[in-house]
Homo-oligomer: A and B are copies of this chain.
Amino acid sequence: MGISMENGLSTNKSVGKQSVLFQNPPCVLGYSSIAGKKEGEGPLGSCFDIIEEDPLAGGKSWEDAESRLQKKAAELAIQKASLQPKDIRYLIAGDLLGQLIATSFGIVDLEIPMFGVYGACSTMGESISIAAMLIDGGFADKVIALTSSHFAGAEKQFRFPLDYGNQRPLAATWTVTGSGAVILGSPKEVKKLPEDTNPTIHITGITTGKVMDYGIKDSMNMGACMAPAAADVIFHNLSDFDRKPDYYDKIITGDLGYVGADILKDIMKEKGYDISKNHMDCGVEIFSKETQDTHSGGSGCGCSAITLTGYVFKKMIQREWKKVLFVPTGALLSTVSFNEGNSVPGIAHGVVIEIME
């Protein structure tokens, strides 16, 4: 593998302009996926650990419901890895809600030192990226990356009250209700674990995204806002590591949806890369286009998170896919900036996930 060192680089772990190659790739010790009812009825329904049928998840508000999903996802991942919360050195988590309230109230009882992160729907990529660096850097042996979203909480915050019954344009996506957690560990820490969490899944590298603003102002077409950011990350991943798209069995974006995925493939073709053969978008996969009426597909932090922990990891453990580039995508949408006439910038974070026997 040819690795070029460029500006601002003097370390042996940083590669090219925006990537990191891990020397001791952190491994996945445990993971979980909690999905809402609609997600459970979708094409990936059978993959998720738990389907939460109650939209309030036993709570008293949409936000409280989302907090409960996060708590449940964290606890299940910890349990599946045969660990206790006190074994986890850092928790890196965030969500879509202002001031990350789903996270703050969801994780308080775990009492784990915590870094709150915000990358809109790219959060799972951001939290796994930081988690992997903290482990490979020698600062922790176990870190949990966690995120969530909730359809009703997101609609309440970003769009219209559900009772209003607004019509949604075909470019709009449907915020996934769900929460996913991934526990990363140092390869040294690997011990006997249940079969479905056997630590052969490793994070071998990352490519960190920049905020990109193409001036798109349509909050009902977030795929178009995010596609340039996804393209930039995929392009730099391939060029930093000097790889062709077919190095990966799958290049998996977060929630571009049908509209955004087409834009991404077009941009990549212009950049000289054809990813149409191995590209997959979590937002496209998670709902049925024919029967679930979600228009452009799923979105939200939970969309890529539970598709990763429910579906992608299963495919990898079954050795159907051995090398995956996971690129959750975020639209930095705020009602305040949107109502002030601003655009919706995008960001994406790339994580290279590989099976290492």
Residue of B nearest to A153 (CB): B336
A347 to chain B, nearest CB (A): 7
**Cβ of B8 and Cβ of A97 under 8 Å apart?**
no
Docked complex Cα distance between A61 and B336 (Å): 10
CB contact between A118 and one of B88, B94, B186 (< 8 Å): that residue: B94
**Cβ of B63 and Cβ of A336 under 8 Å apart?**
yes
Docked complex Cα distance between A188 and B117 (Å): 29
The reply on A14 being an interface residue by CB < 8 A is yes
Residue of B nearest to A112 (CB): B210
Docked complex Cα distance between A129 and B116 (Å): 12
Docked complex Cα distance between A98 and B157 (Å): 10
Residue of B nearest to A236 (CB): B113
> Which stretch of A27-35, A131-139, A309-317 is in the interface?
A131-139
Check A130/B101 contact, CB under 8 A, given A141-B10, A340-B61.
no
The reply on A196 being an interface residue by CB < 8 A is no
CB contact between A99 and one of B8, B112, B333 (< 8 Å): that residue: B333
Residue of B nearest to A89 (CB): B8
What 0/1 pattern do residues 325 to 357 of A give for CB contact below 8 A with B? 000000011111100101001010000000000
**Cβ of B337 and Cβ of A63 under 8 Å apart?**
yes
Q: How many residues of A contact B (CB 8 A)?
A: 72
Check A7/B86 contact, CB under 8 A, given A101-B332, A115-B130.
yes
The reply on A180 being an interface residue by CB < 8 A is no
Docked complex Cα distance between A90 and B133 (Å): 13
**Cβ of B10 and Cβ of A189 under 8 Å apart?**
yes
Q: Report how many copies the assembly holds.
A: 2
The reply on A243 being an interface residue by CB < 8 A is no
CB contact between A14 and one of B101, B114, B140, B335 (< 8 Å): that residue: B140
A226 to chain B, nearest CB (A): 13
Docked complex Cα distance between A266 and B112 (Å): 24
CB contact between A137 and one of B104, B137, B345 (< 8 Å): that residue: B137
Known: A97-B98, A99-B337, A114-B208. 19 other contacts (CB 8 A): A7-B87, A10-B141, A10-B186, A10-B188, A11-B139, A13-B138, A14-B141, A18-B113, A94-B118, A97-B336, A98-B99, A104-B337, A105-B345, A108-B212, A114-B210, A115-B117, A115-B129, A115-B208, A116-B117
Pull 26 A–B residue pairs with CB atoms less than 8 Å apart, ordered by A: A8-B88, A8-B141, A9-B141, A10-B186, A11-B138, A11-B139, A11-B141, A14-B139, A14-B141, A64-B340, A90-B208, A98-B98, A98-B335, A98-B336, A99-B332, A100-B118, A101-B336, A107-B211, A114-B209, A114-B211, A115-B117, A115-B130, A116-B126, A118-B118, A133-B137, A157-B336
